[in-house]
Amino acid sequence: MSRRESPPPPSPPLAPQLLGVRRGEENRPERAEPLSDTEREIIQDTWGHVYKNCEDVGVSVLIRFFVNFPSAKQYFSQFQDMEDPEEMERSSQLRHHACRVMNAINTVVVNLHDPEKVSSVLALVGKAHAIKHKVEPMYFKILSGVILEVLAEDFPEFFTAEVQMVWTKLMGAVYWHVTGAYTEVGWLQVSSSAV
């Protein structure tokens, strides 16, 4: 009887870094799905109605975010101890941050025709939150969902099912760009399935 040679043990899988993928990017799509001209128009039209009330909408978004996801308050020393939504609503610091969030979205929406500008703005947001504020990237996905909920509830006449789908696509692109900045600066916990 001849002895059969056993096959060599399987090679360990190549590390993602050797395949040109940075750690944390294994599930990251190669690029965000681009918006069509019609989708850009839908976003800009609906945003016009939202932005007229940007501070109030932004405050509603942040209050819901912090009430439903209180762990997010850890990144905000100025209102991390606030529990009462009415107290949050009166907070000048929270209002200020709400305006900053809404203005960042406005910059994205106004520049949807210029992907380089959108990418640049969101890279700055991502890098600041990764390096300076050390915010877990999953909070951007959570916040995107909260924004979509508030817009649909506060503006039902404009946020039809079709419009919500387009805004969901935009928020996915925003998350893609922001988390790209996180991986660019070496943040290792980025996951496309964070939430």
Check residue 27 and give its pLDDT: 62
* Residue 2 in domain: no
pLDDT the model gives residue 79: 84
Run of H or E including 14: none
The answer as to whether 24 is a domain residue is: no
Total tally of structural domains belonging to the chain: 1
* 53 within a domain of the structure (yes/no): yes
Q: In which region does residue 186 sit, left (phi positive, over 0), alpha (psi from -120 to 50) or beta (all else)?
A: left
* Cα(50)–Cα(16) distance, integer angstroms: 42
Q: How far is CA 70 from the centre of its chain?
A: 17
Q: Output the pLDDT for position 167.
A: 98
**Quick check: is 8 in a domain?**
no
CB 123 within 8 A of CB 180: yes
Find out whether 186 and 193 touch, Cβ atoms under 8 Å. no
Domain membership of residue 55 as a residue range: 37-185
| CATH classification at residue 142 | 1.10.490.10
pLDDT band at 118 (very low <50, low <70, confident <90, very high): very high
pTM: 0.81
Q: Say if 42 falls within a structural domain.
A: yes
Taking only the tens place, the pLDDT of each residue in 128-148 is 999 999 999 999 999 999 999
What would the pLDDT profile of 15-56 be if each residue is shown by its tens digit?
A: 333 333 334 444 666 777 889 999 999 999 999 999 999 999
28 in a domain, yes or no? Answer: no
- Residue 193: inside a domain: no
Q: Confidence class of residue 126 from pLDDT cuts 50, 70 and 90?
A: very high
% of residues, the chain, pLDDT over 70: 81
